[in-house]
Amino acid sequence: MLGYIVSRLFSAFIVVFGVVFIVFMLIHMVPGDPVEVMLGESASVVDREMLRHALGLDQSLPQQFINYLNKLAHFDLGQSLHSKKAISELLSERIIPTLELSIAALLVAFLIAFPLGIMAALKKGKAADTAAMVFSLTGISIPNFLMGPLLILVFAIMLGWFPVSGRDGLSSLVLPALTLGTALAAILSRMIRASLLEVLNEDYIRTARAKGLGTMRVIGLHALKNAMLPVITLIGLQIGALLAGAVITEMVFSWPGLGQLTIESIQKRDYPVVQACILLISTTYVVINTLTDIVYGMLDPRIRISQ
């Protein structure tokens, strides 16, 4: 088990290193002179050279990368070109709203996906199953940036139940969480259905039924537990879609999270902040997936032995 954990952590370390390299290279993807793009054409030569020096862009590429790594190792993300604040400070202001939104969306997804997936599996081939799967296909096909405005139209403008945008109390969280959560619920309910159907054919389920257990007990005690393994992996992977979807959802609802900071910084050409946001979101994703892998390995010995 320890060997498995160590090998997972080692892989994660290499991946994070690669992610840092790509994020570092991003600033060199700016066409032309990034300094000129950031400051605008009217900036004086002195200002340009100062920024170039401050960003270390006057050094050789390998030297720049070493400096970048060195700063990261000291948790120094630099400062925003726009607000002149420390980037770490900017990020810490934005993490909580994004976490709030993601956790609420995950909750929405569970609350929809489990009843839906279980019902579809139990009523396989019947009307309820078809209805659930049509809902799922619709959910997958409606992107966040369409779902958001539609929910705003109905529940904020027409019914006036929730605020249109912003982050002010629990009621402002409902619509963004629904927007982000339904897409995940759609995928998750399909997976739960498929996974349950596979398990329901197993002998031990027939045994459980034969000894007279009710449907609820068979599903709750015997089937779900074993059907959960592939679902857990999917949830880990879907956290990525959740984090990327949060970027768009935050823009739709003016939710002051990391995603909004990313897009605002792109618009302001504040590239060091963009780099820091991408780095933080991606690293979070890697950490979550590594944890999922480790939990999976603990739950299912076959996984860690095959490694």
Partner 1 sequence: MNRVRSFNAGFYVSSAVLFVWLLMVLSVPFLDLHPNTVSLEKILNLPDADSFLGYDDLGRPLFDRLLAGAYTSFSVAFGVVLVSLFVGTTIGVLSGYAGGQWDHLTVRIIDIFMAFPGILLAIALSGLMGPGIGNVIIALSVVGWVGFARLSRAQVMSIKQSEHVLAARALGASHGRIIGYHILPLIVAPLLIELTFGIASIVIAEAGLSFLGLGIQAPEASWGSMIRDGAQYLLMAPHMVLVPGVALMLVVMAVNMVGDGVRDWLDIKGKK
The site for partner 1 (CB under 8 A) is made up of 11, 14-16, 18-19, 22-23, 26-27, 29-31, 137-138, 140-146, 148-150, 152-153, 157, 239-245, 247-248, 251-252, 262-263, 266-267, 271, 274, 278, 281-282, 285-286, 289
**Pick 2 or 14: Cβ nearer partner 1:** 14
Name the minimum Å distance from CB 179 to partner 1.
12
Amino acid at 229: L
Closest CB 167 distance from partner 1, rounded Å: 18
Helix (H, G, I), strand (E, B) or coil at 79: strand
Closest distance to partner 1 from the beta carbon of 296 (Å): 17
Cβ at position 271, least distance to partner 1 in Å: 7
Nearer to partner 1, 122 or 252 (CB): 252
Residue 178 or 252 having the CB closest to partner 1: 252
Length of the chain: 307
Closest CB 138 distance from partner 1, rounded Å: 7
Angstrom CA distances, 128 to 51, 118, 125, 142, 195, stand at: 62, 11, 8, 21, 18
- Kindly tell me the burial class for residue 29, based on how many C-beta atoms sit within 10 Å of its own C-beta (0-12, 13-18, 19 or more): exposed
Backbone angles phi and psi of 79, in degrees to 5: -125, 155
Question: Measuring CA to CA, which residue among 139, 110, 156, 141 is closest to residue 253?
Answer: 156
Which residue blocks in the chain are alpha helix, DSSP H?
2-26, 34-39, 45-54, 61-73, 87-122, 127-141, 144-151, 171-200, 203-210, 215-217, 224-252, 258-267, 271-299, 301-306
Place of tokens 């990261």: 72
CA gap 60, 300 in Å, rounded: 48
> What's the min distance (Å) between Cβ of 289 and partner 1?
8
